[in-house]
Structure 1
Amino acid sequence: MVIGQFISSRFVPLYPHQQVAEALASMHNQHVQELPVVAEDHFTYLGIATEAQLNDFPPTLRIGEIPMGEHKPAISIQANLFDALRVYQQNQLSVIPVLDEAEHYVGTVTMDKLLEGLAKMMNVQEPGAIIQLQMAAHDYMLSDIARLAELNDVRILNISTLYDSTRDIVNVYLKTNRMDVQALVATYARYHYQVVQVYAQESPIDSLRDNYDMLMNYINM
């Protein structure tokens, strides 16, 4: 997924002719703590102005008189979702400016949009259990993990890993296409994978049965 799919045009950027007070009001009205600054030609990206930064200047000072600095965080319209997440993590921005191939400003992408895209990539909307495995880094073989799933007639919809460098341990999160994964979990354990946790949503029937049992227990007290 490229960033071009997640561009939002609802945030109005700041312009050099605007005063600090007006810029702060714009941030407040748009519920953000920073906004991109764009030249009067509407496409030359000048940098990011933050609420904390603007609070240090007189209200009547124009934005164009404030030094933007050399650091101009932005993401290319052709970049992928993970590049945008990296820019967000490095800069902690509520909105990330997006530039086209000519480095012209075309809009912004928000964290909400990034999470939406990430959710689609991870197939979180699809029903299925999530299995967390843990193993030494030298034991991590994706092909073996996938092969065992196939042997149990389970499809892996998404795989995420989290590496713990302090212990040289890899945590592997498998999003599956089935809720009943007991056989697969037993297989992983048999092949000496540590099964840390299984996250499986309760079916409506199971939930109804549990609620009924709780009601009967209450009545019989």
Structure 2
Amino acid sequence: MIAKELISDDVPEISPSDNGQKASTLMDEFRMTHLPVINGQNQLVGMLSETALFDVDDWDAPVESYKSTLVDFSVKENDHIFTVIKQMGESNSSCIAVVSEKQQFIGSISIYHLMKIISQLALFQDHGGILELEMNIIDYSLSEIANIVESNNAKILGMYIRNHPDSRKIHVALKINKSDLSAVVQTFERYEYTIAARFYQNNENDDLQNRYENLMNYLNI
């Protein structure tokens, strides 16, 4: 999935001739921290931030009069969704502009639309359990992790890696296509993996709970 496929219609743009009052009103209405400023040649002049508006003395003055406050961040139309997420996170913005290879403005991506797209990925939609492994960076082996999961007749639906406060370690989160991951956990522990977190339904515990409830019902008869 690339940037031009993520463009949404919930980010208004303004022109250099629009004033600060209009920009502020649009930001409030569309819940945006930034707005793209587009000139008559359909080029991105920059992104106007709400914090820049706080320092404006004359809200009737055109945006072009405080052009120096505009920030420059955008993605190319063929950039991957991972690049979009990274750029939007680094800019700390609720939206990001999409431009062509010739710097022509194509549209914008809002954080709200992006989160909706991400939530529809199989990683989040498909049923299953989640395990988070903690390991040294040098011990990370995707093939070994996959083999352990698949040896229990399960599949990895998705994964991500995040840094650990100890720079020598990482956390590897796995979404697996089984609700009960007890057997998978046992195999990881047999290979001396550290399970940092686990989120799944334990069928054995459910069975014990059902037996307990049946016993209580019997005793109450």
Scaled by the length of structure 2, what TM-score is found? 0.85
1:80 aligns to what?
80
2:40 aligns to what?
40
CA distance in 2, matches of 1:77, 1:167: 34
1:54 aligns to what?
53
Q: Sort the Cα spacing of 1:46 and 1:59 in 2 relative to 1 into closer, same or farther, 3 A.
A: same
Q: Sort the Cα spacing of 1:102 and 1:167 in 2 relative to 1 into closer, same or farther, 3 A.
A: closer
CA distance in 2, matches of 1:122, 1:136: 28
Q: Which runs of 5+ in 1 are unaligned?
A: none
Q: Sort the Cα spacing of 1:184 and 1:54 in 2 relative to 1 into closer, same or farther, 3 A.
A: same
2:185 aligns to what?
185
Counterpart AA for 2:20 = V
Q: How many Å apart are 1:80 and its aligned residue?
A: 0.9
Greater Cα offset, 26-35 or 171-180: 26-35
1:195 aligns to what?
195
1:28 and 2:28 correspond: yes
Query: 1:36, 1:45 within 8 Å by CA — same for their partners in 2?
Result: yes
CA distance in 2, matches of 1:82, 1:75: 11
2:5 aligns to what?
5
Q: How many Å apart are 1:141 and its aligned residue?
A: 0.9
CA distance in 2, matches of 1:45, 1:147: 48
Root mean square deviation, CA, Å: 2.4
Q: Sort the Cα spacing of 1:152 and 1:76 in 2 relative to 1 into closer, same or farther, 3 A.
A: same
SS of 1:153's equivalent?
A: coil
Scaled by the length of structure 1, what TM-score is found? 0.85
2:114 aligns to what?
114
CA distance in 1, matches of 2:134, 2:18: 54
Q: How many residues align?
A: 210
Which runs of structure 1 show a deviation greater than 6 angstroms over 4 or more consecutive aligned residues? Answer: none
Alignment of 1:164-179 (within 5 A): 164=164, 166-179=166-179
Counterpart AA for 1:35 = L
CA distance in 2, matches of 1:71, 1:35: 10
